Amino acid sequence: MTFRHPAAGTHPAFATPSYGSTALRAPKLAPLSLAQGPVELSGPRFDTSVLYPHHDDMTRQSTAAPLGERIIVAGQVRDENGHPVPNTLVEIWQCNAAGRYHHPRDDHDAPLDPHFNGNSRVLTDAQGHWKITTIKPGAYPWRNHPNAWRPAHIHFSVFGSSMLQRLITQMYFPGDPLLGDDPIFNSIPNDKVKERLISRFDWSLTQPEWALGYRFDIVLRGDEATPAN
Ligand SMILES: [Fe+2]
């Protein structure tokens, strides 16, 4: 099985001047086109040995509940033909409700939450579905430009069935006033494609007396591909 190239205008350019750190990591030369071989058309396989205790509920990974608004986030991973991608690893990381990562390099003057480390891993089921319970992340400053604040977001890494499908991206929340001025979100060149990164509020995921639910489907490659971010 071979894979189509990404549709033009789906993914951000490697170098985006308004997103300062891309200048440090963007290739200086044009990419080479390589034939798809066994390395590209296969990928690592994961089983339940990589999952944490309470892997799908980030509000239960400590001795007490973290602070913040509890939310449920779920979706389906599909391939370029619309088929579910079963049993693939979805890795998730995010800051806490105050907008701070549990990471030594995060020195934002906001409280750490001893009951929230912001990491999770889930495997998709036979129909490509995954679901987590977590805390709604806060906005945080990032010094890219004066008064720069990231919109609330959750980071995702999805392996897919081959290395050509691997995707690292971010999920945003509907109605976030920071989206319009975020250089990372706006590094995606097409407004319609950008919308694929905004989760949908979903009553069918919302649980009464417990948590609001958001849906975030992920498409690996093809015309409907979820963009990298
Ligand atoms: Fe982030």
Q: Considering the domain boundaries, does residue 8 fall inside one?
A: no
At 73, the amino acid letter reads V
Report CA(224)–ligand 1 centroid distance (Å).
24
pLDDT digits (tens, 9 = 90+) for 10-34: 999 999 999 999 999 999 998 888 8
Q: Which helix (H) or strand (E) holds 72?
A: strand 70-79
Catalytic residue, chosen from 11, 70, 78, 150, is 150
Q: Which helix (H) or strand (E) holds 24?
A: helix 22-25
Q: Considering the domain boundaries, does residue 1 fall inside one?
A: no
Q: Considering the domain boundaries, does residue 14 fall inside one?
A: no
Catalytic residue, chosen from 11, 100, 121, 155, is 155
Catalytic residue, chosen from 11, 78, 153, 196, is 153
pLDDT digits (tens, 9 = 90+) for 86-109: 999 999 999 999 999 999 999 999
The domain total for the chain is 1
Q: Considering the domain boundaries, does residue 5 fall inside one?
A: no
Q: Considering the domain boundaries, does residue 102 fall inside one?
A: yes
Residue 135 belongs to a domain with what CATH number?
2.60.130.10
At 126, the amino acid letter reads A
Q: Considering the domain boundaries, does residue 92 fall inside one?
A: yes
**φ, ψ at 45 (rounded to 5°):** -110, 145
Q: Considering the domain boundaries, does residue 199 fall inside one?
A: yes
Range(s) of the domain holding residue 111 = 48-220
Q: Considering the domain boundaries, does residue 32 fall inside one?
A: no
